[in-house]
Amino acid sequence: MRIGIIGAGSIGLLFSWYLSEKHEVTLYTRTVHQADLINRKGVTLVKETEEVRKLPAKPMDEWVGGDDLTIITVKQYQLQEVLFQIEDKLDEAGSLLFLQNGMGHLKLIEKLQSSSIYVGSIEHGAVRESAARVRHNGAGAIRAAVFKGSLVRLEELANNAPEDFSIQVETDYYEILVRKLVVNAVINPLTAVFQVQNGILLANPFYRKIAMSLLEETLCVLETADKEKHYRDVVNVCEKTASNYSSMYADLSQGRRTEIDAILGFLIEEAEKRGVHCPYICNYYHMIKGKEFQGEVVT
């Protein structure tokens, strides 16, 4: 399959590296500099060892939409601008797969005319070490489902995924987003505030207690029935990505904006609509906003 990947942060680099094993992948970057670098050096994946894969890269404004599948990996808060940039070429696009953390993007996606749209989540641990280099800190689940249109390209993607990068096709896209929202609502703010790797949230009994309180409050706001499943999800991700620095930790440490509005900000809005009191969520939301405001550099 011909696959375009828009966004070359940690998730874009990870997808481009793994999928280029079996597909013809082009990576679309935000800057010309990053595209040049990737064209010259390829993408390096660092695990126990490191391996380079050569693949073509282009700046995003050269995207013309001719691929069978386009995977959009940019952050939630960058999505509106990116969609605006590529809007007039979306008619030429094949299927689209959106992989954002948090909630909010459904409102944007709903408006698109594209025939087949998928929504998914990724629970791998990945940190971008430089513009063409990503460290893979643990494999978790990748889930995706149809938002609109046909399943064909998503099934093709899942059936041809590399063994160590498997993709689960599910039926309920909203459920996928809620599961990932809960994971991000607990792990991301706490790791960013305490400045620790994901695994420390389980290993340190005091952080673990706070994580459980934040989890319970999140589930209360979302009025979800299956608490056990969400608890297992959080524990699983912490275990499988124990050595990873969450994206929120990485964003703050590099002075970038975080996805807190789409994660805890979304939960605060939901809590207000339902008249639910959520002091933990509010406190962690403000701690992260405070750090963003200070432009705090933690490493």
Catalytic residues: 180
Shortest separation between residue 217's beta carbon and ligand KPL, angstroms: 18
Contacts of residue 266, defined as CB under 8 A and 6 or more positions apart, other chains included, come to 102, 103, 104, 181
How many binding residues for ligand KPL (CB under 6 A)?
14
- C-beta closer to ligand KPL: residue 177 or 237: 237
217 touches ligand KPL (CB under 6 A): no
| DSSP per residue, 253-291 | HTT---SHIIIIIHHHHHHHHHT---HHHHHHHHHHHHH
Please count the other Cβ atoms lying within 10 Å of the Cβ belonging to residue 237: 28
State in angstroms the smallest separation of the CB of 214 from ligand KPL.
Answer: 13
Q: State how far the Cα of 228 lies from the Cα of 235, in Å rounded to an integer.
A: 11
Q: C-beta of 251: minimal distance to ligand KPL in Å?
A: 9
The pairing of strands 69-72 and 126-130 is unpaired
> Based on the number of CB atoms within 10 Å of its own CB, is 270 exposed (0-12), middle (13-18) or buried (19 or more)?
middle
Name which of 153 and 291 has its Cβ closer to ligand KPL: 291
Q: Which is nearer to ligand KPL, 43 or 238 (CB)?
A: 238
Among 34, 70, 244, 258, binds ligand KPL (CB under 6 A): 244
Judged by beta carbon, residue 46 or residue 152, the one nearer ligand KPL is 46
Structure tokens at 266: 């979304």
Output the smallest distance, CB 239 to ligand KPL, in A. Answer: 12
Using CB under 6 A, which residues numbered 82 to 101 contact ligand KPL? 101
Positions in 250-279 near ligand KPL (CB under 6 A): none
Q: What track of x and - describes contact with ligand KPL for positions 172 through 201 (by CB under 6 A)?
A: -----------xx--xx---------x---
Q: Does 78 bind ligand KPL (CB under 6 A)?
A: no
**Rounded least distance, CB 98 to ligand KPL, Å:** 15
Q: What are phi and psi of 29, to 5 degrees?
A: -105, 165
Q: Which is nearer to ligand KPL, 9 or 94 (CB)?
A: 9
Answer for the pair 189, 162: CB distance below 8 angstroms, yes or no.
no
| Cβ atoms < 10 Å from Cβ of 71 | 27
User: Strand 50-53 and strand 43-46: pairing?
Assistant: antiparallel
Strands 126-130 and 133-136: antiparallel
> Which residues are near ligand KPL by CB under 6 A?
101, 123, 125, 140, 183-184, 187-188, 198, 237, 241, 244, 246-247
